[in-house]
């Protein structure tokens, strides 16, 4: 299904390269709110290429929207705060310390957009989600889904961490609220109601798949060592570390609550996975 299918009155315009020259002003004519989601996220790319697409193309679109659109909604990431929240939850007022090229690009785009919005008067809503799962999931979540489905043992039983997630349908609902709500401008962390450990998430995935997770014990330090020597150190850090966000601001300001539970989101994800598209 193309992005425009299923949306009444939607028109799809294909742009081969977001950062190249094309007529953005005509594209945005009669537009009240721009929602910008496009980015390089789940594929390896040089940092310069990530910046060209995730920063430069974003700013050029926002510049074209100036004087046309009332509001610009930008999909950023909780990764602007870092990769591990430790024993607390990230809040919007916490320092920004991105650890990878994607997080650095998102933060740079946020800052450039904030400067532009201040000059132009255009409203700016910055949405910072944690890991997004659901139909179409890629990268680490898809790897975990495939591993659990394989029935192979996972050395995660000794992991005691906490992770925030957001189901893609819940994220879409939050975006829709940011399009309309007068209190949306600013930075907003959004996530599901539940915070889970990686072992608990694995068990919940297995249950949605109709089976049981095979979790075995392995010291977390040794697991991280194996990740480092195998070239999968960053992936193992994400599986074993904490990344929790405080969503109280978005819930209070937007009067927003995720419409789907974790189990409902996982069920939808598994249906997509079982369809052979994963």
As a whole number of Å, the CA-based R_g of the chain is: 19
Write the Ramachandran bin of 241: left for phi over 0, alpha for psi from -120 to 50, otherwise beta. Answer: beta
Return the DSSP state at 74.
Answer: E
Strand partners, 36: 74
CA dist 193 and 22 (Å) reads 41
How far apart CA 235 and CA 225 sit, in angstroms, is 12
Quick one: CA dihedral 41, 31, 179, 267, positive or negative? negative
Nearest to 129 by CA among 197, 195, 47, 189: 189
**How far, CA to CA in Å, does 145 sit from each of 45, 86, 130, 154, 272?**
24, 25, 18, 12, 11
Compute CA 102 distance to the chain's CA centroid, rounded to the nearest angstrom: 11
Catalytic residues: 102
CB-based burial label for 125 (10 Å; 0-12, 13-18, 19+): buried
Residue partners of 232: CB distance under 8 A and separation at least 6: none
């Amino acid at each position: 299904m193309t992005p425009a299918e299923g949306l009444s009155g939607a028109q799809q315009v294909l742009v081969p390269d977001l950062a190249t020259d094309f007529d953005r002003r005509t594209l945005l004519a009669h537009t009240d709110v721009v929602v910008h989601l496009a980015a390089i996220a789940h594929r390896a790319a040089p940092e310069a290429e990530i910046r060209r697409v995730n920063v430069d193309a974003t700013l050029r679109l926002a510049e074209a929207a100036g004087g046309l659109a009332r509001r610009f909604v930008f999909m950023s990431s909780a990764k602007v705060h870092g990769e591990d929240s430790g024993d607390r939850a990230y809040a919007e007022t916490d320092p920004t310390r991105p650890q990878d090229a994607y997080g650095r690009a998102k933060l740079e785009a946020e800052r450039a957009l904030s400067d532009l919005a201040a000059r132009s008067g255009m409203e700016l809503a910055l949405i910072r989600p944690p890991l997004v799962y659901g139909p179409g999931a890629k990268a680490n979540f898809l790897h975990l889904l495939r591993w659990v489905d394989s029935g192979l043992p996972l050395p995660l039983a000794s992991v005691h961490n906490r992770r925030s997630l957001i189901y893609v349908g819940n994220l879409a609902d939050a975006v829709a609220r940011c399009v309309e709500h007068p209190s949306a401008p600013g930075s907003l962390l959004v996530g599901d109601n539940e915070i889970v450990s990686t072992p608990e998430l694995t068990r919940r995935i297995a249950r949605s798949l109709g089976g049981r997770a095979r979790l075995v014990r392995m010291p977390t330090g040794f697991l991280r060592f194996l990740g480092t020597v195998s070239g999968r150190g960053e992936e193992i850090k994400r599986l074993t570390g904490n990344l929790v966000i405080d969503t109280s601001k978005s819930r209070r300001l937007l009067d927003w609550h995720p419409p789907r539970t974790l189990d409902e989101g996982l069920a939808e994800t598994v249906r997509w996975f079982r369809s052979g598209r994963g």
